């Protein structure tokens, strides 16, 4: 019953046997490594139940694709496990369309899925490919490497605040950033061979920076005034804008380590894609994240990892 919404011919290569058998048969590019990740988006936890169905479909795939972007992987195939409280065609059709439109743009094929009854949630598994040894990882940063971020920060939290205060137009840049995030796939691939480490900003800049630091055995010094704030964020959140950029989450930008000598090449490569890359600090041998102080700008007050 649900399958008709999602059954489409594979657009890309490597699908030897598509939907309709017990398993899908896939043929990865010989010699490449598979990058595999899964994310579950639960209504009222990760997205508003009343969000447009097309945006829910887009977003569920986007958050999984963002993990491929952070590895520098090229998307190939995905699987969806959908739990529905109400299998209404008027909801499913735009949901499938939102999912499929991003599939087409990302060059990924949906090759299988499963539908059950229950509270609305969407779980998406993505498979990407990367040449051996070229994947971007969290553990490769070195002391002295620059810390840089794509795009802007705080849009996810700003968009959630906009939704909560009644904004419903996806023309609002913050709401669009929250409900229709764009995974930085091309940027991630362009940073292969340039970035020393990478992660996507899903949990918030500070939390994800801490993941990079932990994996690389380093600390970091942040320059708060350098943070690229999302368009409209200060207008929406006032003094809370900085906190949103630091710990709001759901931004799906790439946070990367860059050897100083690679900065110019990285900015040129991403500039050609229309993606800004902003230096926001540097990795240090001293553990912890410096530059973020209790009661600092924005009234941001609780950060246990800071070592001023
Ligand atoms: Mg991630």
CA–centroid distance, 138 to ligand 1, in Å, is 10
Q: HSE-up of 143 (CA within 13 Å, CB side)?
A: 7
**pLDDT value of position 8:** 67
Q: How far is the CA of 84 from the centre of ligand 1 (A)?
A: 25
Question: Hey, where are the domains in the chain?
Answer: 31-130, 146-290
* 113 annotated as belonging to a binding site for a ligand: yes
- Cα–ligand 1 centroid distance for 50 (angstroms): 25
Structure tokens at 145: 């490497």
Q: Is the pLDDT of residue 62 over 90?
A: yes
pLDDT bin (cut points 50, 70, 90) of residue 10 is low
- Is 208 assigned to a binding site? no
- Given a cut of 50, whether residue 270 has pLDDT beyond it is yes
- Is the pLDDT at 304 greater than 70? The verdict is no
The predicted-structure confidence for 63-84, as pLDDT tens digits, reads as follows 999 999 999 999 999 999 999 9
Among 8-22, 112-126, 252-266, where is mean pLDDT lowest?
8-22
Lowest mean pLDDT segment, chosen from 11-25, 187-201, 227-241: 11-25
Find out whether 200 is annotated in a ligand binding site. Answer: yes
Name which of 79-88, 124-133, 145-154, 289-298 the model is least confident about.
Answer: 289-298
* 291 secondary structure, DSSP code: S
Task: Evaluate whether 2 touches 80 at the Cβ level (below 8 Å).
Answer: no
pLDDT (tens digit per residue) in 162-190: 999 999 999 999 999 999 999 999 999 99
How far, in Å, CA of 162 to CA of 233, rounded?
10
Task: Please state the φ and ψ torsions of residue 106, each to the nearest 5 degrees.
Answer: -85, -10
CA 244-245-249 angle, 5° bins:
75
- Among 189-203, 274-288, 292-306, the range scoring the smallest mean pLDDT is 292-306
Dist. CA 199 → ligand 1 center (Å)? 6
The answer to whether residue 295 scores a pLDDT higher than 80 is no
pTM: 0.93
| Residue 85 annotated in ligand binding | no
- CA separation for the pair 258, 282 (Å, rounded): 9
3-state secondary structure 17-45: ECECECCCEECCCCCCEEEEEEEEEEECC
CATH number for the region 146-290 comes to: 3.90.650.10
DSSP state of 47: B
146-290 has the same fold as 31-130: no
Domain 31-130: top CATH class: alpha beta
- pLDDT-derived band of residue 7, with 50, 70 and 90 as boundaries? low
Of the chain, the percentage scoring pLDDT greater than 90 comes to 85
Higher-confidence residue: 86 or 75? 75
Which position has the higher pLDDT, 301 or 61?
61
Does residue 138 have a known ligand-binding role? yes
Q: What is the pLDDT of residues 28-58, one digit of tens each?
A: 999 999 999 999 999 999 999 999 999 999 9
């Amino acid at each position: 019953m649900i399958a008709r919404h999602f059954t489409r011919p594979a657009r890309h290569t490597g699908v030897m046997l598509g939907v309709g058998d017990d398993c899908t048969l896939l043929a990865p590019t010989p010699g490449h490594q598979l990058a595999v990740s899964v994310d579950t988006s639960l209504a009222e936890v990760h997205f508003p139940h009343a969000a447009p169905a097309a945006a829910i479909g887009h977003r569920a795939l986007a958050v999984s694709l963002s993990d491929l972007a952070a590895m520098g992987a090229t998307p190939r195939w995905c699987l969806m496990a959908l739990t529905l409280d109400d299998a209404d065609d008027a909801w499913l059709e735009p949901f499938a369309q939102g999912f499929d439109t991003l599939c087409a743009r990302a060059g990924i094929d949906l090759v299988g899925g499963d539908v059950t009854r229950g509270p609305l949630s969407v779980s998406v598994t993505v498979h990407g490919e990367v040449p051996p040894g070229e994947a971007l990882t969290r553990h490769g940063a070195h002391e002295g490497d620059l810390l840089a971020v794509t795009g802007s920060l705080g849009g996810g939290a700003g968009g959630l605040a906009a939704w909560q205060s009644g904004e419903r137009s996806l023309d609002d840049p913050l709401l669009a950033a929250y409900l229709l995030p764009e995974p930085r796939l091309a940027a991630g691939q362009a940073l292969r061979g340039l970035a020393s480490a990478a992660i996507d900003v899903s949990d918030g800049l500070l939390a994800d920076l801490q993941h990079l630091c932990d994996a690389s055995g380093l600390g970091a010094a942040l320059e708060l005034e350098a943070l690229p704030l999302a368009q409209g964020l200060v207008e929406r959140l006032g003094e809370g804008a900085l906190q949103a950029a630091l710990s709001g989450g759901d931004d799906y930008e790439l946070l990367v380590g860059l050897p100083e000598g690679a900065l110019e090449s990285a900015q040129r490569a991403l500039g050609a894609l229309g993606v800004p890359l902003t230096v926001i600090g540097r990795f240090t041998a001293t553990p912890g994240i410096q530059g973020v102080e209790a009661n600092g700008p924005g009234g941001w007050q609780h950060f246990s990892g800071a070592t001023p």
